[in-house]
Structure 1
Amino acid sequence: METGEDIKATPKGFYCKLCEIHTPNQWSLDDHVKGKKHQHLCRLRAKRKAQVKNSVFVSGFKPATSSTELSEYFKQFGPVSEVIMDKEKGVYAIVEFSEVDSTQTALAQLEHRMDGLKLRVKPRERKEFKLATKGKHDPKKPQISLERLNYELCQAASVNEQMQKMVESFQLSENDRTARELLVQLLQEVFTEFLPDCQIVPFGSSVNTFGVQSCDLDLILDLEHTKAFQARGKKFEQTEENQSEDTRSEDSILSDVDLATATPAEILELVAAILRKCVPGVHKVQSLSTARLPLVKFNYRELNLEGDITINNRLAVRNTRFLQLCSGLDCRVRPLVYTVRFWAKQKQLAGNPFGGGPLLNNYALTLMVIFYLQNVNPPVLPSVEQLRNMACEEEQCVIDGWDCTFPSQPFTVPPSKNTDDLCTLLFGFFTFYSKFDFPGSVVSLREGRTLPITDFLSRDEEMPDTPQGSEPKQRNTAHPRLGPVNILDPFELHHNVAGNLSERTHRNLHRECCQAEKYCRSLQYRNKSSKGKSWGLVRLFTPRVEGCPRSQDGKEKSLEISIPFRASILPESLRRELGSAGDTFRVLWFSKLCTAVGAVFKDILKCTPPEEPTISQAQTKTGEDEEVNNNESVKQVITHPGVKRPLPAEESPSSSSSPQGKRQRLDPSAEHPEKACWSWAQRHQVWAGRRKVRRDLLKKSDEASKPEGGCSSIESRVTQCIIEKEVDPKDLLEFRVDAVVVGGGESTKAVLKFTPNNDLQGHFQDFFHFLESFLPKMVETLLAKQE
């Protein structure tokens, strides 16, 4: 098994070029090399190399020559295992022998003739073995060259012109829009034959004025009128013995399907069947009935276009109309959206080629831009609530209980008084979100302001979204899924469009916004380079570089782990307690979190206090108040207004009577610290081979398997098994953990900063990498059990 050339050391661990994956440490690398994927690719590569050695490249034969004729000719040199013909790129073939000697014999012959023509026979070209990825771009799809884009942007006279070029480069062309309209018409004609009075309605990027080349075609199949048609047919059938032809056809698919009682999965299968059998050029049809919005995916061969169809999703159509309205209200909206989207893709904040995953989608980014334009001074766009008040009575619209009212035409909305140019607005966007408290706030485009997250901790009442005097079809009692980033849909108020984001994506978003804001202050952003160097958006779009151990300012990255506030994982009693705490809820939550953090290190990872704690270890850099826990391994720093800073140990009047290593408890009544610190020693490699030990342990027990960090008792036993297997444990490392609640307003995130004190064998980086994923999961598991 060849691994020497496949593995490359990186600042963050190792990179396997064969499998194209990163591993953080040697233990993870060993597990990967022994894994099925790596070994399968090694075997496949060896097989391909053997095939190359056993093959010859043949050209010069007649176009009508078959693979059988070539096989018969080359059998004189030895057994032929396969003949691969390719007549699209040119008349040639690959002849593969069963033995290497046969290949050498064929190549040794000076001249080959077949059907009166001289054949050209040479060794098969040896190409580097590469892993084919599912996200690989189709060569038939038009792709925008980054080099070409950078050249055009550098030729622009200003950042404003660069942003206009972004729209011109990425927007759907007139031909693209026309082709999509024709496809919609084709689908409408086909589906009407089987589902009378149905409607195929496009929505999303194709029609909301923010579409890009090769974007998917999102469609809605509206069956409301079809259901009414079917109901009339049944009623008529009950009164008449012979049904008229214009009401119901014997060949209609409605004779076998009752749309009023059919499940969404049954309707999707019906749609998929019509696409497969009746729409020419459609292939790769797939029904996804378990998605958040069930849909049918398909591919249209003529345009090499991917599309999907959902059922009766009228809210999506209304969202599309809203984005169209925002685009028409101000000409600066589109350039800003296109620029921010491409920036996010270059920084790996959005644009997941495999779909889903913890990255921002284009819809969420567009809403972020609109929300910023609602809050800039003076506002560029009005809030959804203000738009509702501008609408006339005929424009009132309620869908599934949600108020979706806004003017249908942009000219009915007063123009903005904001005169900032695009360059200034883009700078303001990054400044706005570099200082934004995402974990503690909920973005509401409806009200045009942020809502405190405490408002969503214990909501049992219906959200006030319906207009007065109207009766919603159903009561919307579901809560939005809270996370590190919370952006409410403008109309479906229990849908957080950024609910899939992880804490890591939130950190990356904040970091990239801060770096972009810093760059936009420089001369390279606003002034065109006279020496032909990159400037403006070109430097802003510089792709994010993975594996860099230092930040851009040259400083070492701090070893920090953030644990966000997640109301959804807390027990109901604790949520009610936090909700009643008002603005001080974060302090109470932080106190509970400190207890869980201490339990993870002490009870689950079996960390112990350092051998000889000293006074200096217990003191903080700021000289603030301290509390020595009875555990001796936890030292919490209490910060309260009105409490005096303690005197140093040598100046304290009680220092002579206090035992060494102990200090008086300064504020026994303080129950909720805002800062905390711990000092720990780890004598065992509890992170090495942990998953394997866990799997072996679960095989012998009756406990249900849970994700790593999902069960405290299992993880504690895993640690104990690792400790028992170590023959000669040594003092591996000592480290300090400082925790603090951060964020403006309602801070809802705890930041734990790690400082290694004694790491002679260099194990702390591996230990910290393990903690990055394990500690937040384990702490949330323990918080979910607290009452």
Structure 2
Amino acid sequence: DAEVSTRKKTFAEVQTERLDQAERTVLIKCPSKLNEKKLLQYLSSHGNVRSHFFFENRGISALIEFSEKSSIASLQDAVGIPSASEYHVVPFKSRLFTFTLKKPVSQYVEETPLHLSPQCHIPVKDLIEKLCLADSVSSQMYILLNEYQLTEENIKLRFLACSLVQDFARAYFPDSTVKPFGSSVNTFGKLGSDVDMFLDFRDTGKHATKLKKGPFEMEYQMKRLPSERLATQRILSVIGDCLDNFGPGCVNVQKILNARCPLVKFSHQPTGFQCDLSVSNSIAIRSSELLYIYGCLDSRVRALVFTIRCWARVHGLTNSAPGTWITNFSLTMMVMFFLQQRSPPIIPTLDQLKELADEKDKHIIGGYDCSFVSDLRKIKPTKNTETLDVLLGEFFEYFGNFDFRKNSINLRK
């Protein structure tokens, strides 16, 4: 089962694999009438195409993953600079291309229409029709999950958006990486949600083998600033300007540098995502991994979370605009806590995951121990067999009687 084989990988393995995939990927804007075979034939002259799909986003686009990174360099060498009579182009050679047909269309067009991968969930009306055909509440909850969760194609697009931003960051910081965090990677992402990404310099230090032996040592001369916050603001300010001035399809760039967590917001038109870029956020990545583990342990976990979040949205309890409402993250935490309280528990507590951790799982962040096991095979499956419909009812019962004035929820114990 392909689903299980991807599920059993550790969070770090999945991230590494996807980041690598994204670096071998290009995005091509295509004409509305296109011969798929001819396009792939042309691209194959630059190297083996490992996978591809088409999607609709202000016209038709194709995401093309090559087997080798060198194929992209070969393609870039063969591609022309746009001739612009009324505009002047910024000569930044990215991995975004436009494919056009020179000859009259008729001989290129094939009979078979392109298969387009949907990048947003189905309209509510269609969803309700599907739900009405289900034979149980549990089945309905799984249908909701299947319709709203991120698809394989959408995840590839999210990692590509990060990889394209990384190309700019690497012009200044060659060892840096740009990685997604939060709902794009924690298995709880919904189609249409924003992409949270962060600029990571942690790999920069990994290559350093400081000369310890011998009578001398060498280190880089680097700009020194009074605080990490100021360094973060300066870096984001420059990357934000780059995206704004040179990034094809990067629009509405806003630098929000005085926020508690400084960030750059922008719309990435080629992939269709709203993006938030911040700098190294260790805690956010750890919580993404923790949710990834919980999401992989039992299929009921994600189905229950998606249902509760959908219920909250329909009743106006959550809102995409910032304000005093409860967030999806808080609702997700409530579901996790509830599942830990079942008898027998459906998911383990954080302390139990910490007990299973070994040396490589050690993470101390800001003086806090954030260690927990990363290998899913070490976690025993639950013996709890409650059905989803029962769990849904029990969730409302549990929190309906929960005294929030006296008690709080804590996933640790």
Q: Normalising by structure 2, what TM-score?
A: 0.65
What is the aligned partner in structure 1 of residue 375 from structure 2? 409
In 2, Cα distance between equivalents of 1:184 and 1:343: 31
1:248-267 to structure 2, matched below 5 A, reads 258=224, 263=230, 264-267=232-235
Q: List, as ranges, runs of 4+ consecutive aligned residues in structure 1 with deviation greater than 3 Å.
A: 140-144, 224-232, 257-262
In 2, Cα distance between equivalents of 1:398 and 1:172: 31
Q: Is the 8 A contact 1:196 1:229 kept in 2?
A: no
What is the aligned partner in structure 2 of residue 353 from structure 1? 320
Aligned-residue offset at 1:443: 1.1
> What code does the residue aligned with 1:415 have?
P
Q: Is the 8 A contact 2:119 2:154 kept in 1?
A: no
In 2, Cα distance between equivalents of 1:408 and 1:204: 17
1:748-767 to structure 2, matched below 5 A, reads none
What is the aligned partner in structure 1 of residue 145 from structure 2? 167
What is the aligned partner in structure 2 of residue 333 from structure 1? 301
Corresponding position: 1:439 with 2:405? yes
What is the aligned partner in structure 1 of residue 120 from structure 2? 142
SS in structure 1 of the partner of residue 248 of structure 2: coil
> What code does the residue aligned with 2:313 have?
K
Superimposed CA distance per residue, residues 5-59 of structure 1 (whole angstroms, 9 cap, x where no aligned partner):
xxxxxxxxxxxxxxxxxxxxxxxxxxxxxxxxxxxxxxxxxxxxxxxxxxxxxxx
Aligned-residue offset at 1:226: 4.5
What is the aligned partner in structure 1 of residue 256 from structure 2? 288
Corresponding position: 1:213 with 2:181? no
Q: Is the 8 A contact 2:354 2:372 kept in 1?
A: yes
Distance 1:392 1:287, change over 3 A: same
SS in structure 2 of the partner of residue 167 of structure 1: helix
Aligned-residue offset at 1:225: 4.6
What is the aligned partner in structure 2 of residue 321 from structure 1? 289
Aligned-residue offset at 1:318: 0.7
Greater length-normalized contact order (CA 8 Å, ≥ 6 residues apart): 2
Q: Is the 8 A contact 1:216 1:305 kept in 2?
A: yes
Superimposed CA distance per residue, residues 398-448 of structure 1 (whole angstroms, 9 cap, x where no aligned partner):
11212111111222111111110111111111111000011221211111x
Q: Is the 8 A contact 1:227 1:260 kept in 2?
A: no
- Greater Cα radius of gyration, structure 1 or 2: 1
In 1, Cα distance between equivalents of 2:389 and 2:201: 46
Corresponding position: 1:153 with 2:131? yes
Choose 360-369 or 177-186, whichever is displaced more. 177-186
Aligned-residue offset at 1:184: 2.0
Residue 381 of structure 1 is aligned with which of 305, 328, 347? Answer: 347
Residue 222 of structure 1 is aligned with which of 191, 194, 200? Answer: 200
In 1, Cα distance between equivalents of 2:372 and 2:357: 5
Aligned CA-pair RMSD:
2.8
In 2, Cα distance between equivalents of 1:192 and 1:230: 17
SS in structure 2 of the partner of residue 442 of structure 1: coil
Q: Is the 8 A contact 2:335 2:395 kept in 1?
A: yes
In 2, Cα distance between equivalents of 1:400 and 1:271: 26
Residue 181 of structure 1 is aligned with which of 143, 159, 181? Answer: 159
Superimposed CA distance per residue, residues 361-383 of structure 1 (whole angstroms, 9 cap, x where no aligned partner):
11111111000000011111111
> What code does the residue aligned with 1:361 have?
T
Q: Is the 8 A contact 2:150 2:191 kept in 1?
A: yes
Q: Is the 8 A contact 2:121 2:148 kept in 1?
A: no
In 1, Cα distance between equivalents of 2:178 and 2:362: 23
Where do 5+ consecutive residues of structure 1 fail to align?
1-87, 89-139, 233-238, 249-253, 448-787
Superimposed CA distance per residue, residues 477-529 of structure 1 (whole angstroms, 9 cap, x where no aligned partner):
xxxxxxxxxxxxxxxxxxxxxxxxxxxxxxxxxxxxxxxxxxxxxxxxxxxxx
SS in structure 2 of the partner of residue 298 of structure 1: strand
SS in structure 2 of the partner of residue 220 of structure 1: strand
Superimposed CA distance per residue, residues 528-563 of structure 1 (whole angstroms, 9 cap, x where no aligned partner):
xxxxxxxxxxxxxxxxxxxxxxxxxxxxxxxxxxxx
In 2, Cα distance between equivalents of 1:224 and 1:213: 30
Corresponding position: 1:277 with 2:255? no
Q: Is the 8 A contact 1:198 1:226 kept in 2?
A: yes
1:559-598 to structure 2, matched below 5 A, reads none
What is the aligned partner in structure 1 of residue 112 from structure 2? none
1:553-702 to structure 2, matched below 5 A, reads none
Superimposed CA distance per residue, residues 697-716 of structure 1 (whole angstroms, 9 cap, x where no aligned partner):
xxxxxxxxxxxxxxxxxxxx
In 2, Cα distance between equivalents of 1:386 and 1:261: 37
Q: Is the 8 A contact 1:217 1:308 kept in 2?
A: yes
Aligned-residue offset at 1:393: 2.5
What is the aligned partner in structure 1 of residue 266 from structure 2? 298
What is the aligned partner in structure 1 of residue 20 from structure 2? none
What is the aligned partner in structure 1 of residue 311 from structure 2? 343
Aligned-residue offset at 1:146: 1.7
Aligned-residue offset at 1:213: 0.9
Where do 5+ consecutive residues of structure 2 fail to align?
1-57, 59-117, 211-216
> What code does the residue aligned with 2:320 have?
P
> What code does the residue aligned with 1:276 have?
D
Q: Is the 8 A contact 2:138 2:387 kept in 1?
A: yes
Pairs aligned (count): 290
1:92-171 to structure 2, matched below 5 A, reads 142=120, 144-171=122-149
> What code does the residue aligned with 2:152 have?
E
In 1, Cα distance between equivalents of 2:127 and 2:177: 39
